[in-house]
Chains A and B, each alone.
Chain A
């Protein structure tokens, strides 16, 4: 149980800087997820917090105490590695007891803690096995068990589910959420899977190129992305991002043929300025007869039964994805008009920043 403060963290390997000044405050008991594309520095940031990597500049404080120069072993944190990193020559029991032995605990105390964790993680039948005799999911649970027996100040997870198959990943994700509810510890979790991020996090930190793009609750990020990157990154399928020009008060023109779409903005932008209009596939509706909207030609229809996806194109625009509830009779080659409800539109200026709504 602890709270963590990062201030002005930078990290360079030789001459390349991979973390460019990160400020973050994680509250006690909070579940924070770092998410971002591959190579954005998520793991590096986590390892800096863990003490496995030294900061180039900046300060890390746990419960207000500066730990920037403390070695990993003295920070009192626990980490679950992507590769699990179970000690191959030790039994499951020994794997979990190792840290406790190093902490100098008495044997009965160790035994009690290991058994409690094993029960919680349904590992009691495997305590005498070596890691190589376990399935991927079981190894995963041992790795988590090794972290929870320690009762650490903060749990760190580096893509703990990425080696599991899809089904097991969903199951383990739920278990992790349950575990957090049960243990209530501060947890920092790295992933590049945004579904994991959305479902697990109290707050999500979106990273790109070693910088924080936005911090917020999952729904904050979904409803009000600060910039183009977050808009494109959060949400699945991706938000449609259409290049546009301001054509008048409250309207923009999109595409080559300049179809006019109503937007709610009365921004300081002059007509003619370039903007990006964003709208999520699930917020687009098909226009009823006579209703105004954007016309596109359907290239592909995916029918999933409960929902359908239309992929369409219009001159000068990237592919537009539309999600419809239920089943549709439209097919490839049809021309349809879509409605972009103003309430769900996102408008980004030329620099990619979100514009205020009316």
Chain B
């Protein structure tokens, strides 16, 4: 805790505020608002009721109008604070609204009825979390199914990506063979081809393999990424040559060098790639949309899309489920980021 506060209040010189401190903090605060503002808005809005979302002017916190049950009315009635003609204020429930007049009733004494001009009343609001935004889609729609599909795709695809990419990177950085540079150039070359161009041919391949609507159709085509190969290769090139040669002297086979020496030492780069892969896979939209047509094979992103109808968008569900889709990626990042920072500080050289 004290370390956190130390970090938050760090200054150029202890105990004094230099103008650069203030400038730096202002700039950082601006950055935080810029980055976190939309996320905070998303989370807060996801707890608003459908009506609350459409309210104007919008409120930051999820407020909703208080409602009461009044005998003689089947539905709960919204509460208003009304300025009466004599200037006094009372809390009344609105039965119905007719033009610019509202018919109100005193909830404590339902026999008392009033007619009030609508500009004389202000809604009574309270802080309320609309948790049904979360529970309903998870119960009523197949959202848990989407969630498990997404988890499966992300985990399996990331594992395959790490394995395949690290093997390719090992070959391109450490293993000696003729045509190594050509192979590297070709891998890099595929970076230039955007996915939209190969969408149709890959789709045809997937169809011929009979994989449409299977999650493997999402996992397999993107398993080997040139970016990942490149990233890992560059990292492996920085591993001390002596280590690899020591392993060769120690009678290690290429496979053992890869698995027991290079992989553990490439952890920081693998963690970076894992984070990237998880984010790519979790947020992937276009390709799953193309190959997944049955609801039960939908991933979260495709499922979210279903809330966005042609005529009407269910914003409250959409926002809540967006939060659900954001959470796992954020958690993954929290756990893996320490690997990125540890780096290769722990090599055994010298």
A residues neighboring B (CB under 8 Å): 50-52, 71-74, 77-79, 81-89, 98-99, 102-103, 130-132, 136, 139, 146, 150, 163
Interchain CB contact under 8 A, B260 and A98: yes
Residues from 112 to 151 in B contacting A, C-beta threshold 8 Å: none
Stretch at the interface among B22-30, B250-258, B278-286, B310-318: B250-258
CB nearest to B252 among chain A residues: A102
Q: Given A88-B348, A131-B348, are A72 and B265 also a contact pair (CB < 8 Å)? A: no
Interchain CB contact under 8 A, B251 and A136: no
Residue B60, interface by CB 8 Å: no
Interchain CB contact under 8 A, B350 and A102: no
What residues of chain A lie closer than 8 Å to B256, measured between beta carbons? 102
Mostly helix, strand, loop or mixed at chain B's interface?
helix
What residues of chain B lie closer than 8 Å to A79, measured between beta carbons? 245-246, 249
Q: Which of B247, B251, B265 contacts A88 (CB 8 A)?
A: B265
Residue B248, interface by CB 8 Å: yes
What residues of chain A lie closer than 8 Å to B240, measured between beta carbons? 83, 85
Interchain CB contact under 8 A, A73 and B348: no
Q: How far is the CA of A294 from the CA of B107 in the complex (A)?
A: 128
Q: Which of B242, B251, B260, B346 contacts A85 (CB 8 A)?
A: B242
Mostly helix, strand, loop or mixed at chain A's interface?
loop
Q: Given A83-B349, A84-B349, A132-B348, are A89 and B264 also a contact pair (CB < 8 Å)? A: yes
Q: Which of A82, A86, A103 contacts B348 (CB 8 A)?
A: A86
Interchain CB contact under 8 A, A52 and B348: no
Residues from 229 to 282 in B contacting A, C-beta threshold 8 Å: 240, 242-243, 245-253, 256, 260-261, 264-265
Q: How far is the CA of A130 from the CA of B250 in the complex (A)?
A: 18
Q: How far is the CA of A82 from the CA of B241 in the complex (A)?
A: 12
Write 12 A-B pairs (CB below 8 A) sorted by A numbering.
A73-B251, A77-B249, A79-B245, A82-B242, A84-B350, A85-B246, A85-B349, A86-B349, A87-B243, A88-B265, A98-B252, A132-B346
Q: Which of A88, A132, A136, A146 contacts B250 (CB 8 A)?
A: A146
6 A-B pairs with the lowest CB-CB distances in the bound complex, closest first: A131-B348, A88-B348, A99-B250, A85-B242, A86-B348, A85-B246
Residue B111, interface by CB 8 Å: no
What residues of chain A lie closer than 8 Å to B2, measured between beta carbons? none
Q: How far is the CA of A88 from the CA of B239 in the complex (A)?
A: 11
What residues of chain B lie closer than 8 Å to A52, measured between beta carbons? 245, 248-249
What residues of chain A lie closer than 8 Å to B260, measured between beta carbons? 98
Residue among A77, A102, A139 facing the most chain B CB atoms (10 A cut-off): A102
Q: How far is the CA of A50 from the CA of B256 in the complex (A)?
A: 19
Q: Given A78-B249, A103-B251, are A136 and B350 also a contact pair (CB < 8 Å)? A: yes
What residues of chain B lie closer than 8 Å to A130, measured between beta carbons? 346, 348
What residues of chain A lie closer than 8 Å to B249, measured between beta carbons? 50, 52, 72-73, 77-79, 99
Extra contacts, 6 of them, besides A78-B249, A82-B242, A98-B250 (Cβ < 8 A), are: A50-B249, A73-B253, A84-B348, A88-B347, A99-B252, A102-B253
Residue among B250, B251, B347 facing the most chain A CB atoms (10 A cut-off): B250
Interface 1/0s, chain B 158-189, versus A by CB < 8 A? 00000000000000000000000000000000
Q: How far is the CA of A71 from the CA of B250 in the complex (A)?
A: 12
What residues of chain B lie closer than 8 Å to A83, measured between beta carbons? 240, 242, 349-350
Interchain CB contact under 8 A, B248 and A71: yes
Interchain CB contact under 8 A, A163 and B251: no
What residues of chain B lie closer than 8 Å to A102, measured between beta carbons? 250-253, 256
Residue among A73, A79, A82, A163 facing the most chain B CB atoms (10 A cut-off): A73
